[in-house]
C-alpha cells in the first residue's frame, strides 16, 4: 500500500473506504485514546479546541452536531427556526435530559451559557455572538436568541457543533467562571461521566447510565492516556494499550509504518470538518514586524512546495489564504500570493532599512511553534534555516501546550508564532476571528497580534450578518484579498488531520468531526 492509497487524500477530496459489514454492537469494553497535549481545561463551552473537544465532547453536549453527510443534526436542541429578518432564532430543546449530577437540563442553562460563556469568554464565540443581545426563556424547553444584527441560520447551525456546547448554570452561576473546579472535572449531559483526571497521566470517564439516548453508549469507559512523546504513543498503539490516536499526533513516519499493519486504519476519514492550515503569526508590537515589507520578505523566503514534497508528501498542499480550497461555498481564487523568491525577500528587507551586519545578520527574532504536531516542529526548523539565508536569525522557543497558549495569547511575549488554524465549514466560525480586532486577551486562536484594521473589521461584521449567500461570498472574497495583502499572518500550507484507529473499534469516523463528537454509538469488537 503506497502513501497516497493509505491516506486517501486526492486533491481536495476524500475517498471513502469500504464500510464494514453490518454487525451487532457489543456492549462493554474500555476505549483508550492518545491525548497528546494538555490545555488545563476540559470545558468546550469555554475553550474551542480539538484538545478540549477530544475529552469534553464526550462529557458535555452541544445544541447540534453534524451527521454523516455534514449537515446539522439535533442533539440538545430538537428543532430550530429563524425569523424572516434573521434577528430571532428559536430552539426547541430536548425533554427529559438530566445533568450528570441529576439536575434537569433546561433553557436557563442555554441562556446562561450563551450570554456568560460564549459571548464573553469562548474563543471564536465572542466574535460569533458579537451581536447577541439576549436569550429569552419563555419556558424550560424554549430558548430564543435575540440579535442586534441578522444572524444567518446556516452560519449558526454550522458553528454550534463546535461553539454550541452547554454548561450547567447551577454549577457556574456563582464565582469566577474561569476558576471553577468543573473546568477540569466537567459535568455534562453526554454519554460519559467524568471520573478522574491525573495530570500528565490519564483522564477517565465512565458510561452515563442515565443517558437520554436509549441503550447508549455501548462502551463502559473511555481512558485518555497522556503521551507527549510520539514514538512512545506509536509503541503503545502497537502494544494495544492505545486504540485511537487523533489529530495527526503521531510522527509522519509512524503513519506510514502503521498503515502497513493490518491491525490499523490510518486515514483522514472523519476529519472532513476540520481542514487546517499551518500558520505564521506576526507580533505587531515588534516594530520590525509591523513593517509590511518585512512580513512579505519572510513569506517570500520560504520554499513551501519544497517543504511539502520533502517533509509532508501527500499529507498537504500549498495554501492560498485563510479560506482553504475545501470550502466549496466560500473559497476565492486569484488572491495575492507570496511565491518563493529569495531575491525579492532580500530586496524588501533592504528597502525596509535592515542591512546585513556582522556575519550577514540583519536582525534576530524568537519563533514559538505550537506543540501540537510534528509538521509544526518541522516547519519551525525549516523557517529557521530558510530565514538564515536572508540574514534573519531565528531562536526557536519550545513550550508545552499551556505555556505556549499563555505566552502567545495572554502575555503576547513572542515575535513569531506558528501553529494550526482550523476551518469549520464557514469563515465566520473560526477563521475571521484570527483577523478581527477586539477579542478578549487570552482567547486562544484569535487576533492577539496587536493588529487593528477597521476596514477588515467592517468586512468581517458585514459578512457575518449578511443573509444573502452570493453577497456573503463576495464579502469573503474581499476579506481574503485584504488579509492576503496586509498579511497580519500567513497560512501557507493546507492539510486535513490524520487519524489512526485500531480496527477493533466500530462506528468510528462516521461524521466529519468524529474525534470531537460524542462517541455515543462507538463500540469495541473482541
| pLDDT value at residue 274 | 82
Find the domain containing 471 and state its range.
275-496
pLDDT-flagged residues of the chain (< 70): 1-21
- Write down the pTM of the prediction: 0.87
| CA 275 – CA 9 distance, rounded (Å) | 12
User: In terms of Cα–Cα distance, which of 325, 322, 305, 281 is closest to 450?
Assistant: 281
Q: Tens digit of pLDDT for each residue in 130-182?
A: 999 999 999 999 999 999 999 999 999 999 999 999 999 999 999 999 999 99
One domain for residues 131 and 226: no
Strand locations in 244-333 (E): 244-245, 264-267, 275-282, 316-318
One domain for residues 346 and 426: yes
| pLDDT value at residue 10 | 28
Q: Tens digit of pLDDT for each residue in 36-61?
A: 988 889 999 999 999 999 999 999 99
135, 129 contact by CB (below 8 A): no
Handedness of CA 52, 57, 59, 64 (dihedral sign): positive
One domain for residues 127 and 208: no
| pLDDT value at residue 61 | 98
Listed residues 172, 202, 237: the one ending a domain? 172
Total number of domains in the chain: 3
CB atoms closer than 10 angstroms to residue 209: 7
| pLDDT value at residue 2 | 32
User: In terms of Cα–Cα distance, which of 178, 240, 179, 217 is closest to 27?
Assistant: 217
Residues 6+ apart with CB under 8 A from 309: none
> What average pLDDT is seen over the chain?
94
One domain for residues 100 and 154: yes
CB atoms closer than 10 angstroms to residue 471: 12
DSSP 182: G
One domain for residues 426 and 372: yes
Amino acid at each position: 500500500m503506497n502513501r497516497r492509497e493509505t491516506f486517501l487524500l486526492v486533491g481536495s477530496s476524500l475517498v471513502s473506504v469500504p464500510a464494514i459489514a453490518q454487525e451487532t454492537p457489543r456492549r462493554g469494553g474500555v476505549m483508550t485514546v492518545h491525548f497528546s497535549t494538555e490545555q488545563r481545561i476540559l470545558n468546550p463551552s469555554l475553550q474551542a479546541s480539538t484538545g478540549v473537544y477530544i475529552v469534553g465532547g464526550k462529557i458535555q453536549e452541544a445544541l447540534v452536531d453534524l451527521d454523516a453527510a455534514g449537515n446539522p443534526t439535533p442533539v440538545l436542541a430538537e428543532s430550530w427556526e429563524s425569523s424572516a429578518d434573521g434577528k430571532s432564532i428559536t430552539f426547541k430543546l430536548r425533554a427529559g435530559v438530566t445533568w450528570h449530577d441529576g439536575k434537569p437540563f433546561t433553557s436557563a442553562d442555554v441562556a446562561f451559557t450563551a450570554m456568560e460563556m460564549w459571548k464573553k469568554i469562548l474563543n471564536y464565540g465572542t466574535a460569533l455572538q458579537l451581536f447577541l443581545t439576549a436569550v429569552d426563556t419563555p419556558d424550560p424547553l424554549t430558548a430564543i436568541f435575540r440579535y442586534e444584527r441578522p444572524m444567518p441560520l446556516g452560519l449558526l447551525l454550522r458553528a454550534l457543533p463546535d461553539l454550541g456546547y452547554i454548561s450547567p448554570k447551577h454549577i457556574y452561576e456563582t464565582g469566577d467562571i474561569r476558576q471553577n473546579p468543573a473546568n477540569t472535572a466537567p459535568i455534562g449531559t453526554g454519554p460519559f461521566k467524568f471520573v478522574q483526571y491525573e495530570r500528565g497521566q490519564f483522564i477517565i470517564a465512565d458510561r452515563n447510565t442515565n443517558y437520554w439516548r436509549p441503550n447508549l453508549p455501548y462502551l463502559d469507559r473511555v481512558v485518555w492516556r497522556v503521551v507527549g512523546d510520539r514514538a512512545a504513543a506509536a509503541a503503545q498503539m502497537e502494544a494495544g494499550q492505545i486504540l485511537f490516536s487523533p489529530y495527526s499526533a503521531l510522527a509522519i513516519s509512524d503513519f506510514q509504518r502503521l498503515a502497513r499493519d493490518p491491525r490499523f486504519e490510518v486515514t483522514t476519514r472523519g476529519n472532513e470538518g476540520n481542514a487546517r492550515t499551518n500558520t505564521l503569526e506576526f507580533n505587531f508590537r515588534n516594530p520590525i514586524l509591523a513593517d509590511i515589507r518585512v512580513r512579505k520578505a519572510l513569506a517570500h523566503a520560504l520554499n513551501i512546495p519544497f517543504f511539502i514534497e520533502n517533509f509532508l508528501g501527500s499529507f498537504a498542499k500549498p495554501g492560498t489564504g485563510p479560506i482553504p480550497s475545501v470550502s466549496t461555498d466560500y473559497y476565492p481564487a486569484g488572491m495575492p500570493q507570496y511565491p518563493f523568491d529569495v531575491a525579492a525577500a532580500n530586496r524588501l528587507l533592504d528597502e525596509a532599512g535592515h542591512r546585513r551586519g556582522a556575519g550577514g545578520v540583519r536582525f534576530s527574532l524568537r519563533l514559538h511553534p505550537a506543540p501540537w504536531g510534528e509538521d509544526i516542529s518541522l516547519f519551525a526548523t525549516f523557517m529557521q534555516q530558510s530565514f538564515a539565508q536572508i540574514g534573519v536569525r531565528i531562536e526557536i522557543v519550545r513550550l508545552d501546550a499551556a505555556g505556549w497558549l499563555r505566552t502567545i495569547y495572554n502575555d503576547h511575549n513572542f515575535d513569531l508564532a506558528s501553529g494550526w488554524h482550523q476551518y469549520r465549514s464557514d469563515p465566520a466560525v473560526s477563521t475571521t476571528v484570527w483577523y478581527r480586532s477586539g477579542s478578549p486577551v487570552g482567547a486562544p486562536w484569535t487576533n492577539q497580534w496587536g493588529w487593528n484594521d477597521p476596514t477588515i473589521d467592517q468586512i468581517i461584521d458585514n459578512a457575518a450578518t449578511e443573509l444573502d449567500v452570493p453577497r456573503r461570498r463576495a464579502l469573503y472574497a474581499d476579506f481574503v484579498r485584504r488579509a492576503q495583502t496586509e498579511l497580519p499572518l500567513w497560512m501557507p500550507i493546507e492539510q486535513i488531520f490524520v487519524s489512526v484507529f485500531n480496527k477493533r473499534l466500530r462506528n468510528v469516523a462516521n461524521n466529519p468531526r468524529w474525534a470531537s463528537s460524542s462517541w455515543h454509538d462507538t463500540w469495541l469488537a473482541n
